[in-house]
Every structure is written in structure tokens, then in C-alpha cells.
Chains A and B, each alone.
Chain A
């Protein structure tokens, strides 16, 4: 296992379409995160899973967004009825729950462009 894998790397979609992204974390990591990064900004936290349970969601995650992590392995992030403001890099990260959880490993991200 070489790291966190995200698919696709790039996605161009028309406004109003639905899109789904996939994240495969490092295999032994039980924690998984989604972040969003817009141009010129640092990443912003969207949501967090421990195993299959979604334990926290940011206010940034509107009702058009849904994330799942069935069986506590890979995760999907779906955006319904995309808007131009959804254009961003979507980053997935994973970490291992331990006494001192000091490092999250990020994937290369999915860059979404809504036209």
C-alpha cells in the first residue's frame, strides 16, 4: 500500500450534474477525512469517519453533499446538483487512531471544475 488513493484526479462537469469521488485510505487506517481546498486557500475540513461511522460534519457540507464509508474501508463523496462554487480540490486523508494521533496522510486530491 503506497498511500491514500483518490479517483478521479480531475473531473469537469456541467452545472446541475451529480458527481461522485472515491477515496481509498491506507489499509490499516481507521480514520478518514474529507477536506476541500479552493484556489489560494488552505484546505477546509468537511467531514470525518471513524471506521464506518460519520462522526463529524462541517457546516460547509450542505445537504447537496453526502459522504459514505461502507464497511469502514473506502469512502465516497457525492455532490448533487453541482454549482460553480463547488469548483475546488477535494482532498481525502486518513490516519490511525492511537494515543498520539499526530499525522494524517493525504491523497493527491480530485480537482473538480463546474462549468
Chain B
């Protein structure tokens, strides 16, 4: 079974600084997809970034980048130039292999607080 581990319950960062949120995963499959979602206090899950296991380059989306280390089975999210609005829960997720649809397994999340 697939498993996602997020070992940081909470992280603090000052505005304009960069922060890395850790994510490790466990799978025996070669083809898989990794996701990061942001969940503000309003409750909705906001898609941030996607990395396919066969993608040769690390994914980037604006201030978000994914540090993908396949051999270590890690997919850390890097947020550059943090903003106050980045304060939220962040979830790493993996799509179950061989499903072809968004059956996601989520980690327990990391709460990020950005201070002025």
C-alpha cells in the first residue's frame, strides 16, 4: 500500500524567507504521481504542484517548486519568498498507481505559519 509521511507537524517562517516542507513516500511501483495541496482555514484543498515519477525535471509553479529525489523517495515542497497568505495546512499526496484517476493518498499535513 502507498504511504505518505510528513514529519513536520508545524513550521514557522518569516515573511520573504524560503521554507521547505518535507514529504517522503513509500511505493513499490515505478509509475506514480505526487501532489502538494494547500488547505487554508476555509477548508478547500488548493492544488499547488504535481510531479510525475518519470518527469525528468523538478516541477515548478511560480513560487512553488518540488525537490524530487526519486532514490530517496522524497518530494519536498519549497516555497520561496513566503507571504502572510501562505499560512495554511500543506498536504503531500500520491496518486494510487494504475488508477489513472485522482485516487489520492494524503499525508497528515504540515501547518505553516508565516510571521511578519
Binding site for B on A (CB under 8 A): 31, 33, 35, 40-45, 48, 50, 55-56, 89, 91, 93, 95, 97, 100-109, 111
Contact = CB atoms under 8 A, between A and B. Distances in A.
On chain B, which size bracket covers the interface?
A: 20 to 34
25 contacts: A31-B102, A33-B102, A33-B103, A42-B106, A42-B108, A43-B45, A48-B101, A48-B103, A55-B101, A56-B103, A89-B43, A91-B43, A91-B44, A93-B45, A93-B102, A100-B52, A101-B100, A103-B47, A103-B50, A104-B47, A104-B102, A105-B47, A106-B44, A108-B44, A111-B43
Contacts of A48: 101-103
Contact of A42 (B99, B101, B103, B109): B109
Interface of B: 4, 33, 37, 42-47, 50, 52, 91, 93, 99-109
Contacts of A111: 43
A30 to B, nearest CB: 10
Interface class of chain A by DSSP = strand
